[in-house]
Amino acid sequence: MTEKRALLVIEDDPGLQKQLKWSLGDYEVSIAEDMGSALAKLKKIEPAVVTLDLGLPPDPANATAGLALLDSLLQARPVTKVIVVTGNNERENAIKAISKGAYDFYQKPIEIDDLKLIIDRAYRLFDLEEENRKLQHGIAYEPLVGVIACSEVMQAVTRTIEKVAPSSISVMLLGESGTGKEVLAKALHGLSGRKGRFVAVNCAAIPETLLESELFGYEKGAFTGAVKQTLGKIEYADGGTFFLDEIGDLPTSLQTKLLRFLQERVIERIGGRAEIPVDVRIICATHQNLDELIKVGEFRSDLFYRVSEMSIEIPPLRSRNGDAVVIASALIDKQFEGGRNAPQLSDDAIVAIEGYEWPGNIRELENRVKRALIMSENGRISAEDLQLEVPKNQASFPFNLKSIREKTEKEVINRAIGYTDNNISKSAELLGVTRPTLYSLMHKYGIMETKNVEGE
């Protein structure tokens, strides 16, 4: 059974108290009727959301009890979302309440379904902000060490890695350069339970003439300069995990030898005759399209099936909504030993990071952050410090729920009016609101001036 969430209702009318407590049964409702009881219950239950009637009887020490109580609530618990409930003639006070920090307001008479919608939105915003606060204070939501995964697409990847890690099957990590494939490979090793080393080789970084000896090792005297027996990286990883990065660049001459090792689990050093058994977990990665390489004969299909018993696609940074900002903050904190005296990202920097495509992915982000830390002043990192431009269509913080809600409302109203051929009565019915409400919304968004609408 899901535990109900705490909701504090501040209301002095006994009839409304009963109505709200009964109709808001999805929450654990606590009632307070004055400033003293409200602050006491706020401290006791620490609710994420509070509804506050601005029409409370005047407090002797204040001209307006509702606004004074709002100040006290936000001072005592700034993270709480306060929804103010007002009468029809209190719009000015409602606007004052919003300017003081209230989350939203609702006008009487109360329609429970509408009020529930506002309350649910407030809970969702509180949860998002709470998650962000925990991330900023170093409480890792990501299940894998070194992996920051706030976006849904990356959380799906980390869940897959958690499931696959305890097995011994080979894993292929696919994705653009700089997406963190080696970090994920290390996370796989860390969760595998293997006691041996994590050993990595980048096929694109080693000349073809040296790659075979790097992988398989060699015996003394095997070639000029082989003055002693040297273990290869595969043998060195015995009992652990061997990570073959950029396997798409593996020369075809070595693909056959690697395939034999994967089939037989034995290697032969260059210049040697003995078969040496090696127990390793194989993880490979590439940014190339292996299917295309197989078609043109540059990659063996039988090797592909051996190294990709499980394939995991790593999304680029531009597809990980919200990850770039959190990763940037984590990189800043890392440079300042856990965040002590670390500069903060300015609003324009956050907007610029969110709006940038990041062709170099996390590697590019890390480089820009390091440069920005040198250039920043007054404890703030700006978009200019990151050498990024703020998108022209995003002049403010990108997670402004009010602006998103207004944009969506305007689009839906326009669509409804167009669908009903400019008939307001039918549009209101379609939208589930009254005609006066629809007229008010149309006036708010300037739709009245741009459309020739019919009243009936």
Domain identity same for 211 and 339: no
pLDDT value at residue 229: 92
CA separation for the pair 115, 394 (Å, rounded) = 30
d(CA 358, CA 195): 36
- What is the structure's pLDDT at 365? 95
Which of these three, 136, 152, 174, is where a domain ends? 136
Q: Which helix (H) or strand (E) holds 344?
A: strand 344-345
Structural domain total, the chain: 4
215 and 197, same domain (yes or no): yes
**3-class DSSP state of 107:** strand
Of 3, 4, 2, 6, nearest to 81 by C-alpha is 6
Are 224 and 252 within one domain?
yes
Name, in order, each residue with C-beta under 8 angstroms of 181's C-beta and a sequence gap of 6 or more. 173, 175, 245, 285, 314
Check which CATH number belongs to the domain holding 128 and give it. 3.40.50.2300
Question: What CATH number does the domain containing 263 carry?
Answer: 3.40.50.300
End residue of a domain, out of 313, 339, 354: 313
| Same domain (yes/no): 303, 225 | yes
- Candidates 414, 381, 40, 361; CA nearest to 175 is 361
Segment holding 83, helix H or strand E: strand 81-86
Burial class (CB in 10 A: 0-12, 13-18, 19+), 430: middle
Q: What is the number of other CB atoms lying within 10 angstroms of the CB of residue 230? A: 18
At 402, is the pLDDT very low, low, confident or very high (cuts 50, 70, 90)?
Answer: low
Same domain, 83 and 221: no
Domain shared by 276 and 231, yes or no: yes
The per-residue pLDDT for 246 is 95
d(CA 312, CA 297): 23
- Both 239 and 298 in one domain: the answer is yes
| pLDDT of 340 strictly over 80 | no
Which pLDDT score is estimated for 139? Answer: 41
* Helix residue ranges per DSSP H, 101-249: 112-136, 152-164, 181-192, 208-216, 233-236
Question: Is residue 21 pLDDT above 90, yes or no?
Answer: no
Taking residues 309-332, report their average pLDDT: 89
User: In the prediction, which pLDDT does 222 show?
Assistant: 87
More confident residue, 413 or 136: 413
pLDDT of 185 > 90? The answer is: yes
* Paired sense of beta strands 266-267 and 276-277, if any: antiparallel
> Mean pLDDT throughout 150-159?
84
pLDDT in tens, 258-314: 999 999 999 999 999 899 999 999 999 999 999 999 999 999 999 999 999 999 999
Examine the pLDDT at 173 and tell me if it is beyond 70.
yes
Q: pLDDT tens digits for 344-362?
A: 888 788 888 988 999 999 9
Instruction: Establish if 154 belongs to a structural domain.
Output: no
Domain annotation covers residue 144: no
Residue 439 clears pLDDT 60, i.e. is over it: yes
Residue finishing a domain among 116, 136, 156:
136
> Which pLDDT band holds residue 325 (cuts at 50, 70, 90)?
confident
Domain that includes residue 446, residue range: 401-450
The more confidently predicted of residues 412 and 355 is 355
In this predicted model, what pLDDT tens digit does every residue of 27-38 receive, in sequence order? 899 998 888 888
Q: What is the mean pLDDT of residues 239-249?
A: 95
Are 251 and 169 part of one and the same domain? yes
Same domain flag for 125 and 196 = no
